Copies of this chain bind each other. A is one copy, B any other.
Amino acid sequence: MNSEFNIAVHCLTLLSLKKDHMANSDEIAKSVCTHPARVRKVLGLLRKQGYVTTKEGVGGGYLLNADSANVTLGDLYRLLARGSLQPSWCSGGGETTCVVSEHIQEVMERIYNGGELALERHYDNITLLDVTRDIQSETKP
């Protein structure tokens, strides 16, 4: 499981809490605690979905789209983490005549896909606004 989903949530939350809803990759990278190039990669994908717009050149950076408060974690999961439930290594597929070995991969694939759907449905109920509120409520408990 890579962390791009995590990074996306972080970036969008950060932007939504900034007064002008804007920051460049250097500033965001410091907050996320990673390299600017990694931030740019994730935010590039978010841009293609219309969640942010970018401004190149001096004083540029990433600007949060106004409606992005309604983006759900499900949207972000599907974009950045779908398929990560299924491990890269899977059992079976050998050269035996064993029924299980021959068919386990299709069965497990269905199991992982079903799990992922359940996960996505859960995340569909959490919006970016919920997350920003969570962050804020941590400061004044």
Contact = CB atoms under 8 A, between A and B. Distances in A.
A10 B104 contact: yes
Interface stretch (A43-51, A57-65, A130-138): A130-138
A115 to B, nearest CB: 5
B99 A135 contact: yes
A2 B102 CA distance: 21
B10 A103 contact: no
Contacts of A104: 9-10, 13, 135
B1 A99 contact: no
B13 A100 contact: yes
Given A6-B108, A14-B100, A136-B99, A32 B119 contact: no
A122 interface: yes
A33 B138 contact: no
B96 A31 contact: yes
A115 B119 contact: yes
Contacts of A9: 104, 108, 111
Interface in A121-141: 121-123, 126, 131, 134-136, 138-139
A15 B109 CA distance: 20
Sorted nearest first, the 4 A-B pairs with minimum C-beta distance are A118-B122, A103-B138, A33-B94, A31-B101
